[in-house]
Structure 1
């Protein structure tokens, strides 16, 4: 059996360095002389820098890598993220008031007392937003407060949380950590060709300087071009454009009006006539982008939509166009090559799925890493099946937002609400949830990245109505009253014990400098 000891990763960027850290953490080249991990990245390709939003899984990953939260915050222009706030996804623009709901990161407080049936059946209670009844976190979002007190330990707080970050700085942090802490080698070069043997395994890579790099296993992080998995090994791409209609993004970075401007501790997703706009607040700037469908809107019109949102036509020259290849590789692991990041797949960044999929699938692969060629076949089969399940379920969750929308101001929204654009799995779940409240038992796979808590926030945030045939027990009236009282107590506690978002971040940064000087 041929031992696999030399791993070659093609492509840097966030996905490449996350993969490098996961593989190095598992194989430990610092203490195993027979293990070599080399990342080849082009000096000519900059980090795209769109994936500036994360989900709470990133906290576990940073801890696992051995990166301190304070260092991460200090080096990557990090801000805290409680949720995604969806604006005008339910109502038409002609509505008098702005409509919104929060998809929170805190699990909804529905144990042991579940307010959901009361909210569905009680007209007075239904006038409140669902998230406001199952968590204090939505109130904290609107108060622009952080998730943690100044005294809270790293990666912990009063609420479950994630981050906004500068993707370029985050990539550099991962690169430095992989090289100096985890033993990954880095070579700046451009790959021009993959050389295959008779069994269709990759043996080596040709570089533009005439050199050749040999390896036992290769990781394709070359972005949408999928240099190894698709161009060299003939992998098939599964296009999901018939379900997710948006195919283009326009992105721009906008400075705050004042140095001490309020930083929103959530991502804002504002629906537009032909798509939606993300708005992410970092400490010195906002990252703003418009996701739309080129089938329904011209690029010129899309640019106008974005510039109208930021109210600054002078930013036109700084807008970047980012075509999106929506879908995934049918077999992300072929022979001695696995695709990661954009090479593996992509769905629009509505729920910060990019970094999430990069991170989780890289960890999965590192855990399944074959130490010899004989182990490849079985492990790649299970990996491919699991990753396919993850992409399909993630596509369903993103599609859910569009399908539940009440907007009908363009063909884009009308077509998104066509039942024929739903997968059979999502269609069955929605039919099921017309008669029962979603539960954990409605999800067949533990690999689904979005589960019952996520669906509860989105379904009931977008006013999906479940027709209940059984009234909740009348004796729960006291529990309901206590719930409402506890929520107000929680809001009061947070208001008195949480400092400002920017102030909290500056406190963390000062503590890092102080420790370093000491």
Structure 2
């Protein structure tokens, strides 16, 4: 550094988190420019990535477009399919209970129809009442037409993807288009300077690697921020009880089997099973609490679920067990090291929280990147406050899915309703929402990761009782609301006539491509 100016950044660790961080930094710092900041990524040739995070949220679309990645190329390379919802099966005690958390906003034009659903619209599900996307999902349709350009759609959407292939695409884009230098070596030692900063990394193949700022993407190991700099991990397993995952890749019964355009999250005795449809396979797994079920019994529950569609072929599938550290670091940027990915924090992937936080915090770091070492203390404190706030709000939202469930059949579901394990901020909101509909004033920070519409879909998908009858006199547009709902149903029928089945849409994108923006 000359006069403290930052000239180089070293991202340590690859995978989705590392390459997303490298892409965001390079997009902002222009490493190919003589006045820019050099961005280098070093990863081990010997350590495989976890490669399980196969679900995303719509924010990833904005990031892909911002980074200059073709949607057609992304879909073709990453075995990507469209995701329009998370469908929750069995999260309530009623037999066959199911609801959608879709990505379109609930209808508010010409009138907010949510209060009118609470005052008498419950013959339809909440998602069906307030928008078209649940109907599109249930019909097995894709969210866009082939005539629409990249990143545009009839409905809002995210993706399901092969995490390993996504990391490959990001690697190629970062190195060929954004000027990131790619190195392969194992880090043997993190060397600290006299002032406590990271001075260099000692590697087995490349000797010492130096940089002005280091980005820790070394996963749960947190080699730099956790081990070398001693930043403590804040355990939140007192709130989120699931601490393990089993993952298994599953073939389709037939090559042309329909592909759901939603993640299916099916509740089980001690957690939930995810089911994600890619082009040639399904990605499935069981997130569970080892304090409420042993590992063998959990695997049996997962295989029983898969047996419904695969029969005895399920016995031949390999199952991988992944322990989860639930919580986050006490700091996310300390001295000249910031963490992105699992080294920063992790909660169960119920709402695609992993990629969401990796992407959001990587872009935040790039946008707020300091010009000099002198600015790091000020910017890092702000970064730490913002990221901690984001993690706490994510934890609130994940806990919501459990603590308002009326399931009473196992200790896992009963323990999730224990007030001692429900964050005070969530308890306060739930108490208020017993008497009035959530509003955007309840989500006043721009740093909320999950906002009003996300809470509405979960609360009212799970039949949360908001007793607004005393406020009924405020809602005098029932005729207007009824017309809005009728129009919604008409648009669903139009969509069914004009949208392609999801698999057919994906096949046509592979064959013909989408119109570039």
**1:119 corresponds to 2:120:** no
Worse-superposed segment, 1-10 or 456-465: 1-10
**Shift in Å at residue 2 of structure 1?**
1.6
Query: Which 4+ residue blocks in structure 1 deviate beyond 6 angstroms?
Result: none
**Pairing 1:197–2:202 present:** no
* Contact 1:47-1:167 within 8 A present in 2 as well: no
2:256 corresponds to: 260
Greater shift, 469-478 or 35-44, is seen at 469-478
1: distance between equivalents of 2:220 and 2:195?
26
Distance 1:436 1:70, change over 3 A: same
Q: How far 1:480 moved relative to its partner?
A: 3.0
Rounded to whole Å, the distance in 1 between the matches of 2:186 and 2:325 is: 22
| Superposition deviation, residue 227 in structure 1 | 0.2
Structure-2 change in CA distance of 1:35 and 1:431 (3 Å):
same
Number of the residue aligned with 1:82? 84
> How do 1:146-295 residues align onto structure 2 when only pairs under 5 Å count?
146-209=142-205, 211-295=207-291
Q: CA RMSD in A?
A: 1.5
CA–CA distance in 1 between the matches of 2:304 and 2:333?
A: 43
342-351 vs 102-111, greater mean Cα deviation: 102-111
The alignment's TM-score, normalised by the length of structure 1, stands at 0.96
Q: How far apart are the structure 2 equivalents of 1:282 and 1:481?
A: 38
Correspondence for 1:358:
358
Q: For 2:190, what is the secondary structure of its paired residue?
A: strand
CA distance in 1, matches of 2:504, 2:498: 13
Q: What is the correspondence of 1:82-481 to structure 2 with a 5 Å cutoff?
A: 82-91=84-93, 95=95, 98-122=96-120, 125-209=121-205, 211-311=207-307, 312=312, 314-315=314-315, 318-468=318-468, 469-472=470-473, 475-481=476-482
How far does the alpha carbon of each residue in 1:429-484 deviate from its partner, in whole angstroms, 9 at most, with x for none?
Answer: 01111111000001232101101100000001000011111215675232133123
Deviation per residue, 1:173-227 (Å, 9 max, x gap): 0000000000111111111111111110001001123711111110000000000
Question: Which residue does the alignment assign to 1:15?
Answer: 17
Q: Answer whether contact 1:22 1:65 (CA < 8 A) is retained.
A: yes
| Conserved? CA contact 2:146–2:514, under 8 Å | no
The 3 A distance-change label for structure 1 pair 476 and 514 is: closer
Q: Contact 2:234–2:327 (CA<8 Å) still a contact in 1?
A: yes
1:32 is aligned to 2:58:
no
SS at match of 1:351: coil
The match for 1:484 is 485
Q: Give the aligned partner of residue 45 of structure 1.
A: 47
Q: Is the 8 A contact 2:127 2:461 kept in 1?
A: yes
- Of 60, 63, 66, the match for 1:61: 63
What is the CA deviation profile of residues 102-150 of structure 1, one whole-angstrom value per residue up to 9, with x for unaligned ones?
A: 001000002331222222222xx21211111100110010001000011
Contact kept? 2:150, 2:515, Cα under 8 Å: no
Matched pairs, number: 509
3-state DSSP of counterpart to 1:366: helix
**Aligned 8 A contact 1:303 1:316 in 2:** no
Structure-1 separation of matches of 2:237 and 2:280:
35
Q: CA deviation at 1:488?
A: 2.0
